[in-house]
Structure 1
Amino acid sequence: MREFNAVVLGAGGVGKSALTVRFMRDEFVENYDPTIQEEYRKTIEVDGELTWLEVLDTAGAEQFTALNEIYIASGRGFILVFSLALEASLREVTSLRQQILRIKGENSRVPMVLVGTKLDLTNEREVSSAIIQELAARWKIPVYETSAKRNWDVREVFEDLVRQMREYYPPESPKKKRRKSRGRGKSPCIIM
């Protein structure tokens, strides 16, 4: 079974923990409690293949910038989260993406998903689908509009990222076994 780690990044209060907990535990976190760092692990099946996924839920980007650099350096896939009900959170995601590319290399196609949360709050929506689609097309990454409360498209986010990581990080080939001595049944010579 292959193992991957994903990092959930975004501004404070956008629903990173609600999204992560909904996927990992199938629970909705009703009250906002600022996260410093939470790690979750789960075996998931994507396209008939089991994968061990570790998800790091981070603090709001503006609170622990130095820690984010460490998370980005060690991360293999990224979920960039913003709130559909808070346009300013989309700008934060833009700077986080730039930070990822700076750390991982400008030319790399790092596995990444753009996620708008709080889709169920239709009366509070500030970010249009057209703006999100244009951004996702320019960045060449998939985008999802989700609701952790209603469990809308939450699983799809993580499955998409796992597919990207499988493609970007191909399985390591098995290590070649050392060839045995071609002597005629003789033991190898050992000098001490």
Structure 2
Amino acid sequence: MDSSSGPSVRVSPPQTSRMAANKGKSQGSLVLHKVIMVGSGGVGKSALTLQFMYDEFVEDYEPTKADSYRKKVVLDGEEVQIDILDTAGQEDYAAIRDNYFRSGEGFLLVFSITEHESFTATAEFREQILRVKAEEDKIPLLVVGNKSDLEERRQVPVDEARGKAEEWGVQYVETSAKTRANVDKASVFFDLMREIRAKKMSENKDKNGRKSSKSKKSFKERCCLL
């Protein structure tokens, strides 16, 4: 979003998180899913985040380095928390960007369907994520084509974007922060949380399996000593 005209909203520094109004006492015990918004400046990452958090559309936005948001939601019948780090898309230092990526459990790789250059840039952002998360097998990631309400200004064909997502083995979804398309409960945020949850469950299963195997081995070794 550009900030050439009209009122703008300035986000606070990354240290301060905007919390949902209804903080439950048990919120600290809820499962937390950490989502990172990634993409070029002006593609609507902040607009998507604010629409999801507060049900409001901010058209003119003045980006800063980053901002963090947290909200309690119900994911498939389970109360969880989502933590969203909205990056500005123009971080000056690679080390800062790497720290953002390292902290994330899942990524929404956002471009604007009205700007082909922002779509091309997703490949570089993805490479940076893969480099930082190199030790992880599968990284929860969705490719998001935002501003789907501006069909008449489309520069990125659906087939091209979908083809790239298929090449990367990830899901492609088109959104509109203005019309709330794919931003509500049936949204890219919930789809990504499901992928994060599935990965956590798989990792926990692997850990428990290794512990069980180690325990059985230890028991056998004790038996042999007897």
Q: Given the two structures, how large is their TM-score scaled by the length of structure 1?
A: 0.85
The structural deviation recorded for 1:37 is 0.8
Q: Does 149-158 or 102-111 show the bigger shift?
A: 102-111
1:165 counterpart letter in structure 2: I
Deviation at 1:64, TM superposition (A): 4.7
Closer, same or farther in 2 for the Cα pair 1:97/1:11, shift >3 Å? Answer: same
Stretch moving more, 30-39 or 119-128: 30-39
SS at match of 1:53: strand
Residues 59, 66 of structure 1: alpha-carbon distance in 2 compared, 3 angstrom cutoff: farther
Q: CA RMSD in A?
A: 2.0
For residues 190 and 165 of structure 2, the distance between their equivalents in structure 1, rounded to whole angstroms, comes to 18
2:51 matches 1:22: yes
Higher helix share: 2
Aligned to 2:174: 145
**5+ long unaligned stretches in structure 2:** 1-29, 206-226
Deviations 1:70-104 (A, max 9, x none): 10111111110000000000121111111111111
Q: Structure 1: which 5+ residue stretches go unaligned?
A: 174-192
Quick one: distance in 2 between partners of 1:39 and 1:11?
18
Find runs of 4+ consecutive structure 1 residues off by over 6 angstroms. Answer: none
| Residue identity matched to 2:190 | E
Question: Separation in 2 of the partners of 1:169 and 1:48?
Answer: 18
- Of 140, 143, 148 in structure 2, the residue corresponding to residue 111 of structure 1 is 140
CA contact (8 A) 1:9 1:96 kept: yes
Give distance in 1, aligned partners of 2:93 and 2:63: 12
Counterpart in 1 of 2:223? none
Q: Could you tell me which residue of structure 2 aligns to residue 177 of structure 1?
A: none
Question: Alpha carbons of 1:64 and 1:109: their partners in 2 closer, same or farther (altered >3 Å)?
Answer: same
Number of equivalent positions? 175
* Equivalent-residue separation in structure 1 for 2:157 and 2:58 (angstroms): 25
Match of 2:194 among 151, 154, 163: 163
SS in 2 for 1:136: helix
* CA–CA distance in structure 2, aligned partners of residues 124 and 70 of structure 1: 35
Letter in 1 for 2:148: L
Aligned residue for 2:122? Answer: 93
Amino acid at match of 1:67: I
CA contact (8 A) 1:10 1:16 kept: yes
Contact 2:37–2:108 at 8 Å: present in 1 too?
Answer: yes
Q: How far apart are residue 106 of structure 1 and its match?
A: 6.9
Q: Percent identity?
A: 42
Is the alpha carbon distance of 1:82 and 1:63 closer, same or farther for their aligned partners in structure 2, counting shifts above 3 Å? Answer: farther
CA distance in 2, matches of 1:86, 1:45: 34
In structure 1, the residue matched to 2:75 is 46
Q: Hey, what does 2:34 align to over in structure 1?
A: 5
CA 12–64 in structure 1, closer or farther in 2 if over 3 Å, else same: farther
Check the 8 A contact 2:91/2:97 in 1, yes or no: no
The alpha carbon displacement at 1:154 in A equals 1.2
Asked if structure 1 preserves the Cα contact closer than 8 Å seen for 2:65 and 2:90, the reply is no
Provide the rounded CA distance (Å) in 2 between the counterparts of 1:61 and 1:112. 20
Higher RCO (CA-CA < 8 Å; seq separation 6+): 1
